[in-house]
Amino acid sequence: MEVTAKPRSIKRNSIANIVNRTWTTLANFLFVPVYIHYLGEEAYGLVTFFTTLQVVLNLFGLGLSKTLRREFSVYESSEAVVLRKYRILRSVELIIWCIAIIIIGICALNADYIATKWINSETIAESTVSLTIRMMGVSIAAQLIANLYLGCLLGMQDQILANTLQISWSLFKNIGAVLLIVFVSSNISYFYIWHAVIDIIYLVTVRIFVIAKLKKKKSDLSWKLHDLANLKTIYKFALGILLISVGYAINSQIDKIIITKNFDLVSVGAYNSVYSLSILTTILTSSIGIAVFPRFTQLFTGNDLSGLNKTFRSYNSIAVLTTSVIGGFLAIFAEELLLFWTRSEIITNIMAGVSFWLILGTALSAIQEIPYNYFLARGCTIVNNIQTIIQIAYVLTVTPFMIRYYGLSGAALSWFIEMALSTTIYLIVFSRMYLDKCSLRLLISIYLPLLISIAIAFCARTLMLAIDFTDYQRLLGAILIGALTLGIAFIISNKHKFSNL
């Protein structure tokens, strides 16, 4: 099938995604210190536990959101295509709502066990922890369903709308939570009751927009039970995504699960805070990945492989350079940024010497983002599935050993080693399969900017310490020097890439 419609601007969608992820990051900077102040560092550790629980339970989503994102990326050449998308959506809906009920049930039935046997809390009552876990289940279930509809909007390239909805949802949830804990009660259970309510409202809102957009293209949409047969056309891709999701959950959360079991909630919160900080390295890559994925899909289904590879090279080079510079400076200046963000010397001291490896590991994982979307656009999940199996074997054997003998430092170092090996092998395989490009040259183009950025950041920090700069002065210096480094890197690499950035 030939793509005749002009694609929506990848740059415009990338900007919309960057704004959304920048707001998410800004929200962390604005609200996390408030949460720590009013809830306490131990209760904040419970808040970070929610993220781990969410990633694990999202496995029940069976990769359906990303599957729908790919299905809705297909060019709508006729009303029959629109009707097929609607029927697939309604069929998947039936499954995801059943899964949501199961998630709520799992959290409700296991809340007491988690509160008494897993969470190490000294100041929060077990009954409060138990109720909080139940509310977390409702929140996670609602977000899981909402992500299904969000995948549809992203696939249709309505990414400005999708990001507007996400920002509005985040804004209402965080501001409402702050008002609640400041003026009503700092009880962590109330905090998550509010989250659950807002998540349900968000779910309903996103669904309304998706259905309205489909009906605008074809008013007489219909679905019957026998339309579940449409699932046969997507189940292989969905199963591939499921395995990838399982691997992601295990790879990214096994260290946090072990830490939650063996360390106090303050240490749990400290480790998860640095992991949240490391997500800064993924803002641009994930934003570009989401924006460019529908275009990848259209070019592949339209059999324009030359255009597909050209688009990949253009945006991947931007992602790699930016991630390298941001990752290098974040890793070196993590202590200053963590103290500025959390306002907690306890958290900062706990993570001294740990942050560097954790942030670099996440930066390396971010470099896989654009190739990953390229694979999915071509309907290829086998490479990611093989990688997933290998990574699962690694994290189930090496990571527990490292944590047992080296504590939090072991967890971070294990993550870095895994991502360094994984990224290297992944890019070599990708290059040989699709780019017909020298693998060594590709790896040099990725690791050299990262090493140079680390060296520049290290020298800058050493100099500022020698001059006796304050923490805030060092942080400001890091931002300025990092921005200058990034600009020079793009100018040297390619002036056209610099204008695109």
Q: By percentage, how much of the chain surpasses pLDDT 70?
A: 75
Residue 188 three-state SS: helix
Give the length of the chain. 501
Worst-scoring range by mean pLDDT, 56-65, 84-93, 216-225, 485-494? Answer: 56-65
CA-to-CA distance for 197 and 108, rounded, in angstroms? 17
Quote the CA–CA distance of 283 and 193 in Å, as a whole number. Answer: 29
Output the average pLDDT for the chain. Answer: 77
pLDDT of residue 7: 46
Please give the Cα distance from 172 to 175 (Å, whole number). 5
Residue 5 has pLDDT above 50, yes or no: no
Q: CB under 8 Å to 368, separation ≥6 — which residues?
A: 422, 423, 426, 427
Helix, strand, or coil here: 478? helix
pLDDT in tens, 163-176: 788 888 888 888 88
User: Is residue 152's pLDDT more than 60?
Assistant: yes
Q: How far apart are CA 3 and CA 20, in angstroms?
A: 29
C-alpha 314: how far from chain center: 22
* Residue ranges with strand state E in 19-72: none
Q: What is the DSSP string of 331-399?
A: HHTHHHHHHHHH--HHHHHHTTTTHHHHHHHHHHHHTTHHHHHHHHHTT--HHHHHHHHHHHHHHHHHH
Reduce the DSSP state of residue 219 to 3 states and report it.
coil
Looking up tokens 């990688």, which residue turns up?
A: 387
Model confidence pLDDT, tens digit, residues 468-498 = 888 788 888 888 988 888 888 777 766 455 4
The token pair that represents 423 in the structure block? 């990224």
* Helix pair 188-217, 159-183: axis angle to 10 deg: 160
Quick one: pLDDT at residue 63?
65
**Is the pLDDT assigned to residue 411 strictly greater than 50?**
yes
* CA 149 distance to own-chain centroid: 17
Residue 5 burial (C-beta neighbours within 10 Å; 0-12, 13-18, 19+):
exposed
* Distance (Å, whole) CA 269 – CA 393: 26
Instruction: Report helix, strand and coil shares of the chain as percent, to nearest 5.
Output: 85, 0, 15
The whole-number average pLDDT for the span 417-445 is 79
What kind and span of H or E run contains 19? helix 10-39
For residue range 325-360, list pLDDT tens digits in order: 888 898 898 888 878 777 777 777 877 778 889 899
Handedness of CA 401, 405, 411, 416 (dihedral sign): negative
| In the predicted structure, residue 501 carries a pLDDT above the cut 80 | no
Considering 21-25, 396-400, 436-440, the range whose residues carry the highest mean pLDDT is 396-400
Cα-based distances in Å from 198 to 5, 35, 472: 37, 18, 36
As a whole number, mean pLDDT of residues 129-147 equals 85
Structural domain boundaries in the chain: 35-233, 255-501
Pick the closest to residue 272 from 258, 287, 284, 288 (CA basis).
Answer: 258
Q: Which tokens go with 349?
A: 């001291």
- Going by pLDDT thresholds of 50, 70 and 90, the confidence category of residue 13 is low
